[in-house]
Structure 1
Amino acid sequence: MKDIAIKRWLRVAALLCCMDNLHATGLRVTDDRGVEVSLPKSPQRIVSLLPSLTETVCELGQCNRLVGVDRYSNHPASVRDLPKAGGGIDPNIEAIVALKPDVVLMATSSRGVQRLEALGLKVLAMESKSSTDAQRVMSKLGQLLEVPDTHRIWRAVDAGVMAAAQSLPPGARSLRVYYEVSAGGFAAGTQSFIGEMMTRLGVQNIVTPDLGPFPRINPEYVVRANPDLIMIGVRNVQGMEHRPGWRGMRALREQRVCVFTAEESDVLVRPGPRMAEAARLMARCIQEKGLK
């Protein structure tokens, strides 16, 4: 009996040792730069400087960990009252440091990554251009926040996109569409998450794959392509009809233009948990304007 008790004690001691080692190892997440970020434990104070990352953190049920966000993060409504720490491209370094975050979430393209790291802050840089990117980012944030089964959340998003596609008639497949993402003529290419969604909805993107995910398009390119339907946000639509040659395009002649509100545009251009809602907005546009 004494030997059995000793063996049990040894097993318990070994288990406790393993747990101590696991705790000592902490949490390690590799970001989109290929940089491994090490933390002693899952962060409790987070600054998010990209709206899609903010929305994903909240979709994972961890909004309460956010202590600051960028000026554009506005969903869900609860994040609007959080301290603002500049933008993704022009972060307010002093404001971020003052918030004492355990980790800062930001885009790989942000100019502030190296500056924050030089000040000793932990930075996880992630940026989604495709649907696959968005799924990977959600998985990495789930790992960071120790939220299990992010795949279940993504499956629900994917099912919503599929349902939106199935709501459209076969006639949608003949539509040639131009989607303008932002001012300056930046468009959604076929390799972007928006372009991928257009493909799933069955329409044809006038932007060719060789131009990349979000190319800057010359207005003449659009005139030559003569799309059946144009999708554009209200922030970018001003003066559109005055672009050289645009008034003669079929989409403008027949008023086949969907002008999304600012709130709708936010949904559409953010790769993350609201992509199913984005698909429904695009499907409604196709139904109301493209198939009339």
Structure 2
Amino acid sequence: MRIVSICPSNTEILYYLGLHEHVVGLDDHSDWPPEWQHLPRVGPDLSIDMERVVALQPDLVVASLSVPGMEKNVEALRERGIPHIVLNPSRIGEIAADIRLVGEATGFHKQAEQLAASFDERIESIRQQTAAFSRRPKLYWEWWPNPIYTPGRENWLTDVSEIAGAVNVFADFPVANVKATREMVQERDPDHICVVWCGIELRRIKPETITSRPEWSDMTAIRQGQVHLLEEGLYCRPSPRILDGLEQLVKLIHT
């Protein structure tokens, strides 16, 4: 089977399932795993070059709707009659379901069931660990700085916060993504600021971009120096790697 992945989180799921000999192409933003960086590219995940996809003669394209704007990729696949599946998780529990879906589509049923079960067990183990913490710090996640976008209730980062023994300060918004203002963040006065700008390399983000915002000078997180620049690949992608980010977060906010 020849498989093309057009979203980084899908690429990571395929890797964890052991489909090394079957993946023949990736989107430009799939920067993990290192072993697959030599594979042909088919364009940015929001603007896939379907001619390049067709040229790779895939038996299956693993598409996604996890980022607004990816709809046009799915429409293009349908128009061309290219075999595909679409992953669209919003909560952390749906990642295991997507693993099983990919396993079913690729014939890797056993591997998918084992990976999904391991994923769920690891979540439960972390949840039991953090249940012992009496304090639940308030977290503000920043997807994007201008305009500000942050996860709402229907988002895996709200689940990540809860499992880590914390609270997402925008969990009261019943949506996946919230377009917020600096004043809205200030009113919620988070204990920690978690910066995970989507698609931006960590080395390009400067702490002063956050700490110098005048509206936030009196916020608890700023005063106590709890501004964390985090690797977005461990938090913004609904794949098994998100649990590495979750474990990192637990250490960060509880030690």
Q: Structure 2-normalised TM-score?
A: 0.86
Alpha carbons of structure 1 residues 167 and 132: separation in structure 2 relative to 1, 3 Å: closer
Partner of 1:157: 119
Q: Which moved more, 1:57-66 or 1:169-178?
A: 169-178
Residue 266 (structure 1) shift: 0.4
**Correspondence 1:1-292 to 2 at 5 A:** 44-108=1-65, 109-149=70-110, 150-168=112-130, 170-171=132-133, 173-184=135-146, 185-233=148-196, 234=202, 239-260=209-230, 264-288=231-255
Q: Is the 8 A contact 2:96 2:120 kept in 1?
A: no
Q: Aligned with 2:178: secondary structure?
A: coil
Paired AA for residue 258 in structure 1: H
Give the structure with the larger helix fraction: 1
Residue 196 (structure 1) shift: 0.6
Q: Aligned with 1:162: secondary structure?
A: helix
Residue 144 (structure 1) shift: 0.7
Paired AA for residue 211 in structure 2: E
Q: Aligned with 1:215: secondary structure?
A: strand
- In structure 2, C-alpha distance between the alignment counterparts of 1:238 and 1:82, rounded to whole Å: 37
Residue 52 (structure 1) shift: 1.0
Paired AA for residue 189 in structure 1: G
- In structure 2, C-alpha distance between the alignment counterparts of 1:134 and 1:174, rounded to whole Å: 25
Residue 139 (structure 1) shift: 0.9
Residue 249 (structure 1) shift: 0.7
Q: Aligned with 1:186: secondary structure?
A: strand
The C-alpha deviation readout for 1:63-90, integer Å capped at 9, x for no partner, is 2211110111122212211111112211
Residue 55 (structure 1) shift: 0.8
Identical pairs, percent: 23
Q: Structure 1-normalised TM-score?
A: 0.76
Residue 275 (structure 1) shift: 2.6
Q: Is the 8 A contact 1:88 1:110 kept in 2?
A: no
Alpha carbons of structure 1 residues 66 and 183: separation in structure 2 relative to 1, 3 Å: farther
Paired AA for residue 236 in structure 2: V
